[in-house]
Amino acid sequence: GQQLNQSPQSMFIQEGEDVSMNCTSSSIFNTWLWYKQDPGEGPVLLIALYKAGELTSNGRLTAQFGTTRKDSFLNISASIPSDVGIYFCAGPIYNQGGKLIFGQGTELSVKP
């Protein structure tokens, strides 16, 4: 079945540093999504990508839809303490409208 693998599993960085994380799959996805989960809350959609090669920004966040359609990347520039949380990539399950599969998440810690 479809699976999404995220790396790294966790990151400990200093405030102000840039962050990169990625998500890979053995299957092709037509849509890539990035969600963020703040501690004690449910995930919230950050960025949605719909086209291979697409690069989309949301403030200090930039995500890319890989050209092979089997991967996606999320970058955070100049991290701040409120960037702390778990970042999930997700993609729609093939031919099952509305259902998403999620990666295992990348847990980000930012030291002030």
Residues counted in the chain: 112
Q: Does 39 bind another protein (CB under 8 A)?
A: no
List, in sequence order, every residue forming a beta bridge with 64; answer none if it has no partner: 55, 73
DSSP tag of 71: E
Cβ-based nearer residue to another protein, 43 or 66: 43
Q: Does 28 bind another protein (CB under 8 A)?
A: no
Q: Does 50 bind another protein (CB under 8 A)?
A: yes
Closest listed residue to residue 80, CA positions, set 60, 110, 106: 110
88 within 8 A of 43, measured Cβ to Cβ: yes
Which one of 14-22, 37-45, 58-66, 69-77 is the stretch in contact with another protein (CB under 8 A)?
Answer: 37-45
Query: Interface residues with another protein (CB under 8 A)?
Result: 6, 31, 33, 35, 40-45, 48, 50, 88, 90, 92, 97-105
